[in-house]
Amino acid sequence: MENKINELLNQQINFEFYSAYLYLAMSTYFSEINMDGFAKFMKNQAKEELEHAQKIYDYLLLRNEKITYQRIEAPDTDWVNAQDVLDEAIEHEKMISSKIHELYKTAKEKDDFATMNFLNWFVEEQLEEEEKFRILQEKIKAFDECSCTLEAMDRELNKDQ
Ligand code: FEO
């Protein structure tokens, strides 16, 4: 594997762990304001991010590649309401999608077909993640933070998880 691809994959592991950290912090925020459905949703997202990191880790091991460890940043937690949280989550997912695309582009330039094939799963997954957050964000926006409808959404999410 080319050094650049190894470097980007290791960096991606760090981004995925950071995503888990960020979503866990968002889950904490929702727990603290007693929105348990949203808290569960975010906790599940955090769990998925850990699985993403593990997937890349396993791929590097499979390719007998070096795994490097980097500092995981602390997320900012100064959200003011549910919409604020969802806005940040969706922006974050868009950033992650762009990182996956950058990785894919590099793998393509280097003719690393195995990595391109591996990344296909992530390209698909990012579409789903962005959509999941976007729907929730749109619903919150539509309800304009009316507490009764937000509470109803919270109950619905609580049932779904
Ligand atoms: Fe693993 Fe939500 O990106």
Q: What is the pLDDT of residue 159?
A: 81
Distance, CA 101 to ligand 1 centroid (Å)?
13
Question: Does residue 93 line the site of ligand 1, with CB under 6 A?
Answer: yes
Q: Tell me the pTM.
A: 0.91
10-residue stretch averages of pLDDT, the chain, 161 residues long: 97 98 97 92 97 98 97 96 93 97 98 98 95 87 69 79 66
Instruction: Give the tens place of pLDDT for each residue, 46-88.
Output: 999 999 999 999 999 999 999 999 999 999 999 999 889 999 9
In b/e form, how buried is each residue of 107-136, taking b as 16+ CB within 10 angstroms? beeeebeebbebbeebeebbeebbebbeeb
96 lines ligand 1 (CB under 6 A): yes
Q: CB of 16 closer than 6 A to ligand 1?
A: yes
CA of 1 to the centre of ligand 1 (A): 23
The DSSP output letter for 53 is H
All structural domains of the chain: 3-160 (1.20.1260.10)
Closest by alpha carbon to 80, among 156, 130, 145? 145
Residue 147's pLDDT is 65
What is the largest distance, in Å, between two alpha-carbon atoms of the chain? Answer: 54
Ligand 1 atom, smallest distance to 53 CA: 1
Backbone angles phi, psi at 35, to 5 degrees: -105, 80
Find the DSSP H helices in 33-146.
36-62, 82-109, 113-143
State the first-to-last Cα distance of the chain, in angstroms, to the nearest integer.
39
Tell me whether residue 6 is exposed, middle or buried, using C-beta atoms within 10 angstroms of its C-beta: 0 to 12, 13 to 18, 19 or more. Answer: middle
